[in-house]
Amino acid sequence: IDPVALLSNSSTLKPIFSPDGLKVAFQGYADNLVPNDTNDDPDFFVKDVMTGAVVRVSTDSAGGQADGDAQNNNDPVSFSPDSTKVVFGSLAPNLVPGDTNAKYDIFVKDLITGATTRVSTDAAGAQANDHSHQPMFSPDGTKVVFWSAATNLVSGDTNGKQDIFIKDLTTGAVTRVSTDAAGVQSNGQS
């Protein structure tokens, strides 16, 4: 039995503990977990298991709600190793300025500052030209790995396939890792 679902007015999915064990993140279709949830879309939430406080994390940096759904059921929210950030996907175009690609993008939400950053971009910050999914933090929390069908995240991406990318959160650099040892791109989906 999902204890969060017992308190909500709709489905909750994909619960995951934070590494420090003090929080649980999950996707929810409920509109009664936080005040003013009126977007009629699934959102991502984080619950503090000590205080009971619930925060909606699929929001913009000012806390404004998303104008689109949080990632589909195959892509749960994930915590950074220090439990201070979450990474998630969303179709919403209003989580960061300039999001006009109408694609699922990958975002990092800082649970301390509230800042929301889009990471499914190229090294210069240009948005992806196709969907990105299944993000996860590196063990040191400095990078995010995800797959994308975008062809413009790195130069020379001409295989027309889904590839695996790493985004360095400090430098902004993007590396395609679904290549052979010499850097030759794959001829199939990754």
Render pLDDT for 25-38 as a digit per residue (tens, 0 to 9): 999 888 899 999 89
Residues 6+ apart with CB under 8 A from 128: 101, 103, 105, 120, 121, 122, 148, 150, 152, 153
Q: Which two tokens stand for residue 121?
A: 């971009």
The rounded mean pLDDT for the chain is 91
Per DSSP, the three-state class of 114 is coil
- What does the alpha-carbon distance between residue 120 and residue 132 come to, in Å, rounded to a whole number? 7
Q: What three-state secondary structure class fits 85?
A: strand
Chain-centroid distance, C-alpha 79 = 10
**What is the per-residue pLDDT across 96-131, written as a single tens digit (0 to 9) for each?**
999 999 999 999 999 999 999 999 999 999 999 999
Residues in CB range of 140: below 8 A, 6 or more apart? 81
Residue 5: the pLDDT is 45
Give me 184's structure tokens.
Answer: 């030759």
**Alpha-carbon span 124 to 157, nearest angstrom:** 16
Rounded to the nearest angstrom, the gap between the alpha carbon of residue 146 and the centroid of all alpha carbons in its chain is 9
Would you mind telling me the total number of residues written for the chain in this entry?
Answer: 190
Mean pLDDT by 10 residues, the chain (190 residues): 48 85 92 90 94 96 91 78 97 96 96 98 97 96 97 96 97 96 91
